[in-house]
C-alpha cells in the first residue's frame, strides 16, 4: 500500500478533532446501522492512525509500526458507507471538512486497490458510454420520444441561448423522465431559446468523484464545457443538484479558466421566470412539504429559492419537516451509497418516509431527480399515499388551470380514501 496522500490542511483537521461526537447522531448511515465505525468520528481517528503508520517521523516518535491489514480492509469498506450528505460538517464545532476528507480517503483506497467491488459495469459505462447506466450514450434523449415533435426538434438544436443539462438519472431512469419533460414544457412556455446537448452531454463526473476517481473527471469536464460553448449558450440550467454542484464548484478548480456562461439550478432559474411573470402559476389547495437535497442545500447553499416558489402558490399550506435546511436528513440516494450498499440506502430512505409522514403532507416536493426517485420508490414500496414531485413538475401542473384543478381533485380523492380506510 502506497503512502496516504492528504493535504496539510486535512492532516491539521484530523488532529483538530475534539472527539465531541456531534457527528455521530447526525450520520444517516449510523441511524440505520448503529455502527459507529462508519461515522466521521471513527473515520477521523482511523485516518489519524493510518497517517501515523505511513510517516517515518510519526512512527519514530509515536512508536507505531504499521496499521493492522484486517483493520485497513474493513476501513476501506466503511469509507464507502457514506452518502456524502455533509451533515457531519454542519454540526462540527471546529469546522472539519469531513466530506472532502472522506472523498480523499476514497481516492487513497482506490490507489491502494482496496475499494469494495462495484456491482455491474458502472465504471465501464462511465468510461465508454459517458453515463452511469449504458455502454453507449446514444439514448440520452429517450425521454423525449413520447413528447410532441416540437420538443424533439428543440432538443437537437445546434445553437441555443439556454442549454438544459439533463443529467444521467433523468436521462436514463424512467421514474424521473417526467422531470426533464416538465423542464422543456416550461422553457417553451416561457418562450426561451433553449436546447439540449443530447448524446454530446456526458456525465458531469460526480459519480466518479464519489468513487474516488476524480482524475477521470477532467476529460468529461472539458468535453461538456466545450459542447456548451459550441452551442453559443449564455446560460446552462441544471435540474440535478449534483451536476450543478460539480459545474459550479469542481469544474472551475479543474478547468482553471473562465467559464463563459452562467450556471443556474432550476429552482433559482424558474423563480426568476415566475417573478418576471413569464410562467403563470394557479392555486392549489393542499398541504405541502419540501425535502432539501444534500447537494443543493448543504453543498451549494440553495435553501430559499424552492421555498419562495412554494410560498407563491396560492392556497397551499407549507409545513416544514422536523429536520430541514442545513439539518435536513438525507434521502439515502447520494454518495454512490446505492451502488455499493443498496440495503443501507433503502433503510435511510425508509427513515425519510417516516419524517415526511409526520408533516401530514399530501404533496412532497424536492428539487433533485435522485431524491424524487429514491423517495417515491420507497413510498411506493411502503404503500404511502402522498404524491412525490420535483418542483418543476408542480410548476408545470400549476401553469395550466385545468391541470391544476385535476391535480387538486386527485389529491383530495386520495386523502379521502386514506381517511376512510
Mean pLDDT by 10 residues, the chain (421 residues): 77 90 94 95 86 51 60 89 96 95 93 84 93 94 92 84 97 96 96 95 96 95 97 97 97 94 98 97 97 97 98 97 97 92 96 97 97 96 95 98 94 72 55
Phi/psi of residue 394, nearest 5 degrees: -70, -40
- Which strands make up the sheet holding 162-165, listed edge to edge? 194-196, 162-165, 235-238, 262-265
Q: What is d(CA 360, CA 363) in angstroms, rounded to the nearest whole number?
A: 9
For residue 66, the model assigns a pLDDT of: 62
For residue 45, the model assigns a pLDDT of: 87
Does the fold of domain 280-420 match that of domain 122-272?
Answer: yes
For residue 419, the model assigns a pLDDT of: 60
Q: What is d(CA 73, CA 75) in angstroms, rounded to the nearest whole number?
A: 5
For residue 1, the model assigns a pLDDT of: 45
Half-sphere exposure of 170 (CA within 13 A, CB side): 31
For residue 58, the model assigns a pLDDT of: 46
For residue 282, the model assigns a pLDDT of: 96
Q: What is d(CA 319, CA 210) in angstroms, rounded to the nearest whole number?
A: 33
Question: Helices in 292-368 by DSSP H: which ranges?
Answer: 304-311, 337-340, 342-359
Question: Helices in 301-341 by DSSP H: which ranges?
Answer: 304-311, 337-340
What top-level class would CATH report for the domain 122-272? alpha beta
Q: Where are the domains of the chain?
A: 8-111, 122-272, 280-420
CATH architecture, range 280-420: 3-Layer(aba) Sandwich (3.40)
Please tell me what DSSP assigns to residue 330: P
For residue 61, the model assigns a pLDDT of: 40
For residue 153, the model assigns a pLDDT of: 79
For residue 60, the model assigns a pLDDT of: 43
| Third-level CATH fold of 8-111 | Fumarate Reductase Iron-sulfur Protein; Chain B, domain 2 (1.10.1060)
Q: What is d(CA 233, CA 249) in angstroms, rounded to the nearest whole number?
A: 20
Amino acid at each position: 500500500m502506497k503512502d496516504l496522500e492528504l493535504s496539510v490542511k486535512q492532516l491539521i483537521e484530523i488532529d483538530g478533532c475534539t472527539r465531541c461526537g456531534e457527528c455521530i447522531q447526525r450520520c444517516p448511515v449510523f441511524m440505520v446501522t448503529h455502527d459507529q465505525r462508519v461515522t466521521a468520528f471513527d473515520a477521523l481517528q482511523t485516518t489519524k492512525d493510518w497517517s501515523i503508520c505511513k510517516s517515518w517521523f510519526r512512527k519514530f516518535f509515536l512508536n507505531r509500526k504499521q496499521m493492522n491489514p484486517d483493520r485497513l480492509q474493513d476501513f476501506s469498506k466503511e469509507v464507502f458507507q457514506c452518502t456524502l450528505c455533509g451533515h457531519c460538517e454542519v454540526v462540527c464545532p471546529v469546522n472539519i471538512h469531513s466530506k472532502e476528507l472522506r472523498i480523499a480517503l476514497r481516492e487513497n483506497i482506490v490507489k491502494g486497490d482496496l475499494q469494495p467491488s462495484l456491482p455491474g459495469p458502472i465504471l465501464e459505462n462511465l468510461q465508454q458510454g459517458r453515463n452511469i447506466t449504458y455502454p453507449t450514450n446514444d439514448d440520452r434523449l429517450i425521454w423525449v420520444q413520447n413528447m410532441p415533435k416540437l420538443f424533439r426538434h428543440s432538443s437537437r438544436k445546434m445553437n441555443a441561448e439556454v442549454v438544459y443539462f439533463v443529467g444521467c438519472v433523468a436521462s436514463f431512469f424512467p421514474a424521473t423522465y417526467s422531470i426533464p419533460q416538465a423542464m422543456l414544457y416550461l422553457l417553451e412556455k416561457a418562450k426561451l431559446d433553449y436546447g439540449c446537448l443530447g448524446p454530446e452531454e456526458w456525465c458531469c463526473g460526480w459519480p466518479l468523484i464519489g468513487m474516488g476517481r476524480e482524475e477521470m473527471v477532467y476529460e468529461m469536464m472539458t468535453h461538456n464545457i466545450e459542447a456548451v460553448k459550441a452551442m453559443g449558450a449564455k446560460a446552462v440550467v441544471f435540474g440535478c443538484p449534483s451536476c450543478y454542484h460539480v459545474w459550479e464548484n469542481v469544474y472551475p478548480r479543474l478547468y482553471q479558466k473562465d467559464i463563459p456562461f452562467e450556471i443556474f439550478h432550476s429552482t433559482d432559474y424558474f423563480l426568476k421566470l415566475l417573478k418576471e411573470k413569464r410562467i403563470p402559476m394557479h392555486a392549489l389547495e393542499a398541504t405541502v412539504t419540501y425535502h432539501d437535497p444534500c447537494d443543493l442545500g448543504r453543498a451549494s447553499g440553495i435553501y430559499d429559492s424552492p421555498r419562495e416558489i412554494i410560498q407563491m402558490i396560492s392556497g397551499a399550506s407549507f409545513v416544514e419537516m422536523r429536520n430541514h435546511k442545513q439539518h435536513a436528513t438525507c434521502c439515502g440516494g447520494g454518495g454512490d451509497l446505492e451502488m455499493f450498499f443498496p440495503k443501507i440506502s433503502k433503510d435511510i430512505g425508509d427513515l425519510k418516509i417516516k419524517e415526511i409522514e409526520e408533516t401530514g403532507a399530501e404533496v412532497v416536493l424536492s428539487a433533485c431527480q435522485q431524491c424524487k426517485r429514491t423517495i417515491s420508490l420507497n413510498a411506493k414500496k411502503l404503500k404511502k399515499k402522498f404524491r412525490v414531485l420535483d418542483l418543476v413538475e408542480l410548476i408545470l401542473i400549476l401553469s395550466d388551470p385545468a391541470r391544476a384543478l385535476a391535480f387538486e381533485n386527485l389529491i383530495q380523492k386520495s386523502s379521502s380514501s386514506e381517511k376512510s380506510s
